[in-house]
Structure 1
C-alpha cells in the first residue's frame, strides 16, 4: 500500500503530536522507567505512572452513558491522515492519552469489530506504516515502529472499533534507564534459545518465557497475501494452543469470546515489525499483584505492549515490588496467558 502522505510519516506524526500536546488536545503522562527481568533473564521495561491512578472512574450509581467512538469522525486536533490517499480504507489518529511520545493509531474508516479476524487491508496498512517510518531515515537503524493489536477485552482492547497501535521504538528507548532492554519480539526472533514449534516449522517460541507465544519472520517486501498467510498461521497456532490448554486444564477459565456475531473464540495480542510478526494468546487482561502474605497490592493489566517487553503500574508499592522480585513478574505473565505451570 502506498500511503500517499503529504510529508514523511515520522515528521507528520511528530508535528501533529507536538502541536496537540502544547494545546492540551492530548493528555501526555510522563513515566518513571526501570528495566526488570524475569527469573530467566528476559528484560522488561517497567513504567511507573502515578497520574493514571488519579483518573476519575465512574461510580456504580452513575447512569450509563453512550461511549463515543473516537475513530468515527475523529477530532481534527488528533487526526493525522486518511490512508491510502485515493479511496482511503483507514485513518491515522493520535492516541489521546499517551505515555510514549508519538503514540498513534491506525483505525478502519468503516467501523469493524475488534474481535473479528483482521483483514488483508488491515495488515497491508500496518506494514506500510512500519516501512514508511524506517524509510524516512534508512541510515538510522533505531528509527522504527512497534505495532500491536489487542483483539478484545481480555487482551487489553478498550475500543470495539477495529484499530492497531504504533509506538516508535526510539521513543520507548528515550531514557538511560532503558539500557539492557530490547523489544521482546526482537529478542524472541533472534534468540539462539528459541526453537521451532512442532505445529508449524516456520513458527518459533522462546522457552525462557513462562507463557505460550508464537513468532514468525516476515519476507522482505511481503505481498498482501504473504502478510495475511503469516497472520493466519500465527492465529491458527494460537487457537490450537488454547484448545489444547482447555482440554489439559478444564477447570481454568479462558474467558473465551462469544462467537454468535462472528467474533473469534480466543483473545490474543498481535505484534509486528517490518521483519517479524508475533502472537500471544490471552486468558486474562491482567493479574493481581500480591504480597507474600497473600494480601492484594494492585491489579496489573497488560495489552499488546507485552510483546514489546513492557508493562506499566500506577502505584508505588507495585513499582517497588516488581523492581526487586523477578518471580512476581513471572507470576503476572503466567496469569495473563497460557502458562507452563498454570494456576486457576
Structure 2
C-alpha cells in the first residue's frame, strides 16, 4: 500500500513539473537567453552580458533559434502522455518502464536548466507576494484614424493609495529624514532582475519588476544611486534603455519605454526610473502610426503630430537598432535634446505653466523619441460633475489610457480620447508650426544641446545647456518666477 502511495505521489510531481516545463518552454521562445552566459561572459551594456565565444553553440540553439525550448516543450508532452497515458501507450512496455521515465526526466531537467525563464520569475514574484498583478481588459477606441487603447482595470480601486511624491523633500532631506525609497537596497528578491552598467560612463542601474503591474513583465530601469525624477534623461540612460528595446526586438518581442519627468508628469516616485512595457502589437504604441506617417524634409528634423496638445517628435536613424553601442549615444542624445529643447520653448511661451522646473513625458521606441510638456497636475482632469479625476502619465500620450471603472471609461469615450488628453497637459498644440525654424531661431549655440557635451551641462544645471546668456536667464526664470 505504501509503495502505491509513493508511486502516485511521484506521478503527480512529474505531471506538475512537466506542465510547468511546457509553460516555461513556451515563454522561453519569446524571451530567449542562455541562462549560464554569466559564467564566462563579459558584463557590458544591456542585454547585460556579452557571452563568451565558448558559449556560441548554446547561443545558436537557444537565442538565434529556440531549438532547446522546442525540445523541452515536446519532451514535456511525451512525459505527460506516459504519466496520463494515451490509449495506444497504455499498458505497453514503454508505459511500464521506469528507466525510460528516469532518462526522460533527467533530459528534461538538463534542457530546462539551459534557458532563462523571465515569465517564471514574474510568476514566482507574484506567488511570493512581492509583486501585485491587477487583471484588466483592453478596449480599442478608434478616433480620427488612431486606435486608442483604453485599459479597464477595476482591481486598481483596491490598490493602496500612495502619497504624492515630494521631489524637493527627497532632494533636500538628510538621509535619516528622507522618505523611504522603494528603489533603494536591499531589493525585494522577487522584484530584482539584475544590474547593468554603462560601459563608457560607468553609470550603474538596477532592473526591477514593477511592483504594481497591470501588464505582465512590466519592468523598470532605476539608477543605482539616487537621482531625481526631475532630471532629464542623460546619454547613458538613453543608451541603456534603447539596448533593452533592441534586445527585445531580437527576441521577437516589442517593448517601448516611457519616462515621467517632474511633479506634473504623473511620476509616482522621486527616484529616477524609466519604465519598459511589453506590447502585443508589433507596430508599437498607437501614436507610432502617426509618427511613421509624418513627412519631413530631413530625417533629423523635429516635427509635431496632429494632436490637440503640444508634442515634439524626432525620428531616429533607420539603421540605429543595428548600430554598435558606442554609436548610439550621439544619435540618441541629439534626438532627445532636440525635442527637450522644443518642449522648454513651449513651456517658456505658455502662460498657464506654473512656477517651477518643467515637467514632461518622454516616449522612446526603436524609431522615435516623443516629448510632451506638461502644465497641469496629472490627476486634475475632471471627468464628471462629481469632481472625479483621471491620472494621465506618459502612457496616455502613447495612446494608452488606464481607467479604474466603467463610469470613467464611459466618460472618456463620450468626451473623446483626444479631448481628454488635451485637458491634461493644458498646453496648446504646435502642430503645423515649423519645428526646424524654432530650433534655428535659438541661435547657433543652442544646437550644442544636441551633443553629449551639452547633455552633461544639462546634468549640472538641470534644464538647459550651452545657450546664450539671455536664453539662460529665460530658462532660469522658469524656476524662479510665476507666469
Asked whether the 8 Å contact 2:198–2:204 carries over to 1, the reply is no
Q: Which has the higher contact order (CA 8 A, sep 6+)?
A: 1
1:82-141 deviation digits (Å, cap 9, x = unpaired): 00398661110000000001000001111111101221211111111111111223xxxx
**Which residue is equivalent to 1:230?**
335
Aligned counterpart for 1:75 among listed residues 165, 184, 188? 188
1:238-271 deviation digits (Å, cap 9, x = unpaired): 1111222x2xxx3x3x2343xxxxxxx2110011
Residue 52 of structure 1 pairs with residue 162 of structure 2: no
Following TM superposition, by how much is the alpha carbon of 1:58 offset from its aligned partner in structure 2, in angstroms? 7.5
Over aligned residue pairs, what C-alpha RMSD do you find?
Answer: 3.0
SS in 2 for 1:130: helix
Aligned counterpart for 1:123 among listed residues 238, 252, 259? 238
Structure 1 stretches of 5 or more lacking a match? 60-64, 138-142, 175-180, 258-264
Q: For the residues of structure 2 that align with 1:164 and 1:242, how far apart are their CA atoms?
A: 23
Change (3 A) 1:108 1:12: farther
SS in 1 for 2:331: helix
**Which residue is equivalent to 1:255?**
354
Q: For the residues of structure 2 that align with 1:332 and 1:339, how far apart are their CA atoms?
A: 13
**Which residue is equivalent to 2:370?**
278
SS in 2 for 1:299: coil
Following TM superposition, by how much is the alpha carbon of 1:196 offset from its aligned partner in structure 2, in angstroms? 4.8
**Which residue is equivalent to 1:177?**
none
Matches within 5 A, 1:85-234: 89-137=204-252, 143-170=253-280, 183-191=285-293, 194=294, 196=296, 202-207=301-306, 209-219=307-317, 220=320, 221=323, 222-234=327-339
Q: For the residues of structure 2 that align with 1:308 and 1:235, how far apart are their CA atoms?
A: 17
Following TM superposition, by how much is the alpha carbon of 1:152 offset from its aligned partner in structure 2, in angstroms? 1.8
Asked whether the 8 Å contact 1:216–1:234 carries over to 2, the reply is yes
**Which residue is equivalent to 2:428?**
339
**Which residue is equivalent to 2:391?**
301
Q: For the residues of structure 1 that align with 2:213 and 2:424, how far apart are their CA atoms?
A: 23
Asked whether the 8 Å contact 1:286–1:335 carries over to 2, the reply is no
Aligned counterpart for 2:135 among listed residues 19, 30, 34? 30
TM-score for both structures, normalised by structure 1: 0.78
Q: For the residues of structure 2 that align with 1:201 and 1:78, how far apart are their CA atoms?
A: 38
**Which residue is equivalent to 1:261?**
none
Following TM superposition, by how much is the alpha carbon of 1:190 offset from its aligned partner in structure 2, in angstroms? 1.2
Q: For the residues of structure 2 that align with 1:206 and 1:266, how far apart are their CA atoms?
A: 21
Structure 2 stretches of 5 or more lacking a match? 1-44, 52-58, 64-114, 164-176, 431-483
SS in 2 for 1:112: coil
Asked whether the 8 Å contact 1:51–1:314 carries over to 2, the reply is yes
Q: For the residues of structure 2 that align with 1:58 and 1:158, how far apart are their CA atoms?
A: 8
Q: For the residues of structure 2 that align with 1:280 and 1:99, how far apart are their CA atoms?
A: 23
Q: For the residues of structure 1 that align with 2:358 and 2:259, how far apart are their CA atoms?
A: 14
Q: For the residues of structure 2 that align with 1:213 and 1:85, how far apart are their CA atoms?
A: 30
1:316-339 deviation digits (Å, cap 9, x = unpaired): 21122323x2x3423321112213
SS in 1 for 2:231: coil
Q: For the residues of structure 2 that align with 1:266 and 1:88, how far apart are their CA atoms?
A: 25
SS in 2 for 1:290: coil
> Over alpha carbons, which structure has the higher Rg?
2
More strand as a share of residues:
1
Q: For the residues of structure 1 that align with 2:375 and 2:262, how far apart are their CA atoms?
A: 11
SS in 1 for 2:417: helix
Residue 288 of structure 1 pairs with residue 381 of structure 2: yes
SS in 1 for 2:268: coil
Q: For the residues of structure 2 that align with 1:154 and 1:332, how far apart are their CA atoms?
A: 16
Q: For the residues of structure 2 that align with 1:307 and 1:110, how far apart are their CA atoms?
A: 29
1:179-199 deviation digits (Å, cap 9, x = unpaired): xx96134112212xx3559xx
